[in-house]
Amino acid sequence: MKVRDCALKRQGHVLAYVVINPDLKTRGNPMVLLHGAGVDGRLTWQPLVELCSWERTIIIPDFRHTGLSINENGEINFSIAAIAEDIVAILNHEGIQELDVIGYSLGALVSIELLTLIDRYINSLTLIEPPGVDPILENQILNAEKFKLASDEIIQHNTFELFLGLTQPESGGLHPRAKALMIERLEQNSDGLGLSLLAVSEYLRTPILCANTSFKPRTTALLGSKSQTRYLNQTKAWLDLQHIPWFTIPGADHTMPFQKPRRIIQHIEEKLNG
C-alpha cells in the first residue's frame, strides 16, 4: 500500500490526514475512518489497516486539536459540527463524492452530523460505540453532564478517572497494565481529549436524529458486549428508535478498534458485499 501524509489549512487550523492507496487498482468507494476522543486517527485505526485487504482508498483524518492537526490562530472552536465540516472540506479537497464511513465513539457522532451535510454521498455508515445517546432526552442530558465533568477534570487537573469511569468495561474495570497504557496515550493529547468530551457534552443536549437511515446510507452499529450495561441499554434503545440494526461484538468493550479489528473488518466486508 502507498501512504500519503496530507494537510489542509482551514479556519486557522492545519488539518492533518493520511491517504492510503492499495498497490493494485482500487475497487469500491473510498473509506473514511473517524477516530474517537483522546487518540489520533493513525493510532486508532492502525490495527485495522494492517489487517484489512480492502482494494480501496482509505482516508484517516486527525480532528482539530488532535494528533498532527495544528491550531495556528489559538482560537478554540471545537464542536461536532465544526469537525464534520472539516471532514467535508478534506473530502472536497481530495475530490471524493461517494464514500463509506466508519465512526468510532466521538467519530460516530461526527458521522451522524455528516449525514446532515452530505448524506447523498455516503453509501454506508458504521457507528462503533456511539457515546451517551438515549431516546429519552432527559437521560441523554444526564450523560452530557457526566462528559462535562470528565472534561473539566482533564482540563483543570489533567486527571482521567471520570473519563475512565465512562469507558471502562462493565465488570472489574481495566487491568492495571491496560489502564496505565491508556493513561499514557491520553496524556499525549489531554487538551484535545478535554475539548472532545466538552463537544460530546454539548452535542448530547439536543435530540440526535440519524437522517435517511432506512436504506441509503446503509447504517449499522457495533457495540461491545463488555461495555457498561446501562450504556449498552441506552444505546440499543436509541438505535432501535432510529431503525438502525446493531450487532454486539463478544469480548469487546468501548475500546473495540484496538481489541477487535478483525471483527470490525469482517462486519464491514459482509455489509459491503451483501
259-269 tens-digit pLDDT? 999 999 999 98
Is residue 38 included in any domain, yes or no? yes
Q: Give yes or no for a cis peptide into 217 (omega within 30° of 0).
A: yes
Is residue 50 included in any domain, yes or no? yes
Question: Does 249 score more than 90 pLDDT?
Answer: yes
Q: What is the pLDDT of residues 128-156, one digit of tens each?
A: 999 999 999 999 999 999 999 999 999 99
Is residue 255 included in any domain, yes or no? yes
Is residue 126 included in any domain, yes or no? yes
Q: What is the pLDDT of residues 30-74, one digit of tens each?
A: 999 999 998 899 999 999 999 988 889 999 999 999 999 999 877
Specify the number of domains making up the chain.
1
Is residue 149 included in any domain, yes or no? no
Mean pLDDT of 229-239: 95
- Pairing type for strands 13-21 and 2-10 reads antiparallel
Q: Tell me, what's the pLDDT at 209?
A: 78
Is the separation of the CB atoms in 88 and 117 below 8 Å?
A: yes
Which band of pLDDT confidence, cut at 50, 70 and 90, is reported for residue 108?
very high
Q: Which domain holds residue 227?
A: 2-135+208-273
Q: Tell me, what's the pLDDT at 188?
A: 79
Mean pLDDT of 1-23: 92
Angstrom distance (rounded) from CA 60 to CA 42: 7
Question: Does 165 score more than 90 pLDDT?
Answer: no
Question: Does 170 score more than 70 pLDDT?
Answer: no
- Pairing type for strands 246-249 and 122-128 reads unpaired
Is residue 148 included in any domain, yes or no? no
User: The domain spanning residue 110 has which CATH number?
Assistant: 3.40.50.1820
Q: Tell me, what's the pLDDT at 213?
A: 46
Is residue 29 included in any domain, yes or no? yes
149: helix, strand or coil: helix
Is residue 254 included in any domain, yes or no? yes
| Reported pTM | 0.94
Q: Which residue has the cell 486527571?
A: 159
